[in-house]
Chains A and B, each alone.
Chain A
Amino acid sequence: DADVTQTPRNRITKTGKRIMLECSQTKGHDRMYWYRQDPGLGLRLIYYSFDVKDINKGEISDGYSVSRQAQAKFSLSLESAIPNQTALYFCATSDMGQGVETQYFGPGTRLLVL
């Protein structure tokens, strides 16, 4: 079984709809992240959480919200989806083994907003 899972893997929605992307991990890591990837722009950080009570905005948090329901679960919501939120979304976790942070990524959710 994959260590970091994302659901759904693909989603098509309409402008104005509320949607939630979910991420679960079995690695036991405290740190979790949400990124989006657009063609030619690399990955950009949306939100991150260093533990259940710690939520932080990333570079591009406008239009998004998150919920850290448990150590293993971190959800990303689009309250009112718009077409420029069409992108590939990645969840990641990390640990600090031997003082070095290594991130582990989920397979991604491809979102299309019409």
Chain B
Amino acid sequence: KQEVTQIPAALSVPEGENLVLNCSFTDSAIYNLQWFRQDPGKGLTSLLLIQSSQREQTSGRLNASLDKSSGRSTLYIAASQPGDSATYLCAVKSGSARQLTFGSGTQLTVLP
């Protein structure tokens, strides 16, 4: 059974810092990995999706990397802003599964 872990559970940084959020998974036979952002009262928004054949994806100040062999993904946020404050979730779609397995998330606070 796939298990997804995100550490740390919470992170607080001053505005302008570059930061890295971590995600690890136990079964490397994945189809893809997604990073989501969750804002209170607004559900989840997909940020980046990395296919199993890819090493990274970039969108604006966000960069997500994937290392299947070690079961790890990172989300890099450059020049953080208070508006980046949210909970960030990673989710893995395993090769044979028809569903996503979510991590418990990292709650990010960017201080002005």
Please report A residues at the B interface, Cβ cutoff 8 Å: 4, 33, 40-45, 48, 50, 56, 58-59, 90, 92, 100-108
Instruction: With A42-B102, A58-B99 as known contacts, state yes or no: A100 contacts B46, CB within 8 Å.
Output: no
Q: How many A-B residue pairs have CB under 8 A?
A: 48
A56 touches B45 (CB 8 A): no
In the complex the two chains form, is A100's CB within 8 Å of B89's CB? Answer: no
Across the interface, which residues of B come within 8 angstroms of A45, CB to CB?
99-100
Q: Which of B32, B98, B105 is A42 in contact with, Cβ under 8 Å? A: B105
13 contacts between A and B (CB under 8 A): A4-B43, A40-B9, A42-B103, A42-B105, A43-B91, A44-B102, A45-B99, A48-B98, A100-B32, A102-B46, A105-B45, A107-B41, A108-B41
Which residue on B lies nearest to A108, using beta carbons?
A: B43
A61 to chain B, nearest CB (A): 12
> Do the beta carbons of B104 and A103 come within 8 Å of each other?
no
A101 to B97, CA, bound (A): 13
- Count of B interface residues, CB-CB < 8 Å: 22
* Residue of B46, B51, B91, B104 most packed against chain A (CB within 10 A): B104
B102 touches A43 (CB 8 A): yes
Contacts A100-B49, A102-B49; is A48 near B99 (CB within 8 Å)? yes
Nearest 5 A/B pairs, CB to CB:
A105-B43, A42-B102, A42-B104, A105-B44, A43-B102
Residues of B within 8 A of A101 (CB): 93
Chain A neighbourhood of B45, CB < 8 A: 105
Does B4 lie at the interface of the complex (its beta carbon under 8 Å from any beta carbon of A)?
yes
**B42 interface residue, CB < 8 Å from A?**
yes
